Amino acid sequence: MGRCFRYFRACVKQAEAWDQIDRAPTVKINLPRSYAGEMDFLEPGDIRRLLDAAREPERILFSVLAMSGLRLGEALALRSRDVDYKKRRIRVTRSWSPQGGFQEPKTPTSRRSVPLIDTLADILRDYFDGRGHPKLDDLLFTFDGEKPLDPSNVRKRFLEALNAAGLKHVTMHSLRHSYASIVLGQGASIKALQHALGHASATMTLNVYAHLIPEDMDASSDRINEVFANMGGKIE
């Protein structure tokens, strides 16, 4: 429902800009929050099986989604210049969709630089070494050099890879959730994850992924006790 409303809102806003209507009727409409339910994601071993079963160039695209947390539209818009192997960063400066083409990020936090882990850097290098490295402005994921891969076809290839690997059916967005799960599991902060995912606020990140943060305080209880024990003086 939310996606349909956003498309409709964009249409009526454009109609207003063209003076086809007096005022967009969606101005003061706020959709109710939807319950996300249980979040689907893949374990690291499942991601390995998915990548082994996927075909090129989708395998490389799936690798980027799983190992950097980028949205599909952000990954499809990547150019060679956006991957900095020396500084180990991927720069996100735009997004792409069949409806809107290439677009600037909708929020300042969506324009960001995310870590390029060594494993992903090796995957990208190996792939492009075999094909000839693209020029700085060349798209990474394209068949004709001008237009990114079609998202509908990419989703079909994703489903085919899931089936071939014998994995449960999840959406491609689950790779983003998988990345968040792994990052939090390795002790990264919510603030760091917020920046990596391009969320508008840490509160938004916390609302989505709070249940993935380890809540067991037993491991830190001794350190907490030491702080209070060393306050000085004796508590009567």
Does one domain contain both 5 and 116?
no
Does one domain contain both 98 and 151?
yes
Cα angle value 44/75/85 (rounded, 5°): 80
Whether pLDDT at 21 is above 70:
yes
> Mean pLDDT across the stretch 2-24?
72
Does one domain contain both 13 and 77?
no
CB atoms within 10 A of CB 114: 20
Q: Is residue 61 part of a domain?
A: yes
> Mean pLDDT across the stretch 217-234?
65
Does one domain contain both 19 and 100?
no
Q: Is residue 221 part of a domain?
A: no
Which pLDDT score is estimated for 232? 63
Please indicate whether residue 106 or residue 164 has the higher confidence score (pLDDT): 164
Under the banding of pLDDT at 50, 70 and 90, the label for residue 136 is confident
**Residue range(s) defining the domain that contains residue 18:** 1-28
Which pLDDT score is estimated for 101? 92
Distance between CA atoms of 88 and 116, rounded to whole angstroms? 5
Cα 132 to the center of its chain, rounded Å: 27
Cα 210 to the center of its chain, rounded Å: 17
Look at residues 80, 76, 50 and name the one whose alpha carbon lies nearest to residue 63.
Answer: 50
Look at residues 63, 64, 61 and name the one whose alpha carbon lies nearest to residue 48.
Answer: 63
For 171-209, the pLDDT digits (tens) are 999 999 999 988 888 888 889 999 999 988 888 888 888
Q: Is residue 233 part of a domain?
A: no
Does one domain contain both 50 and 5?
no
% of the chain beyond a pLDDT of 90: 50
Average pLDDT, the chain: 84
Task: Give the global pTM.
Answer: 0.76
Does one domain contain both 22 and 119?
no
Cα 111 to the center of its chain, rounded Å: 13
Distance between CA atoms of 166 and 162, rounded to whole angstroms? 6
> Mean pLDDT across the stretch 56-79?
96
Instruction: Count structural domains, the chain.
Output: 2
